[in-house]
Amino acid sequence: MTTATPSYGAAATLTCTSSGLASSSLLTVGRQSTVADNTSDLADDSMVGGKLVTSATTTTNTQIQIWAFGTYDGTTYSASAGATDAGFTPDTGAKNLMKLLTIIPNITTTAVTYAWGPFSVAQAFGGTMPSKWGIWIVHNVGTPLAAGSEIKYTPVKYASA
C-alpha cells in the first residue's frame, strides 16, 4: 500500500503592507499582497496564515475578510488583482471572483492581534494550486489596521512512501 506523506518547505512571507489599511464600510477597498510563484517550487499545496492587528477604538460587530486570488495564465489575476503589494479595489461584484479564505469577526473595541490560518490554498482553488497566487485583505472595523501584521505560507509537497 502506498501512502502520500507531506513534506513541508520553509515558511515564506507574502508582503502586504496592511499597517494603516483604512476601514472600508462596503468591504471593497483593501490591500493585495505580492504573489507567491509556484512555477519553480511546484508545491502540491501551500498552507497560508498570519496575523492582523487592529487599532484601539474599533467598532464592534464588524469584520476582517481574507481572500485568495490566483492566475489562470501566469499574468492575469482573479478580479483584476495585480502581482505586487498595493491597494486594490475590485470592480463592483468582482471580489466574488476571488476565493474567500476566512472572515474574522471583530467583537471588541480594543486593539487585538488576530492570528488566522492555516488555510489550504489548493483547497480554495478546487484542489489544485494556481501557478501564482496572493492574498487580498479588506475590513470595516472603523479604524486603520495597526503595525505588526504578517502573512506567511508553507509549501507542501506529497511523496509516496
Residue 145: name the closest of 58, 87, 60 by CA.
58
Choose the CATH number for 14-155 among 3.10.450, 2.40.128, 2.60.120, 3.30.160.
Answer: 2.60.120
| Distance separating alpha carbons of residues 4 and 65, to the nearest angstrom | 33
Least confident range of 23-27, 108-112, 138-142: 108-112
Phi, psi angles (nearest 5°) of residue 63:
-155, 160
Confidence of residue 138 (pLDDT cuts 50, 70, 90): very high
Quick check: 160 pLDDT over 80? yes
| Distance separating alpha carbons of residues 31 and 48, to the nearest angstrom | 16
Provide the pLDDT for residue 2. Answer: 79
Interval 76-130: pLDDT, tens: 999 999 999 999 999 988 999 999 999 999 988 899 999 999 999 999 999 999 9
Provide the pLDDT for residue 92. Answer: 85
Average pLDDT over residues 18-23: 96
Interval 35-53: pLDDT, tens: 999 998 899 999 999 999 9
| Distance separating alpha carbons of residues 126 and 99, to the nearest angstrom | 10
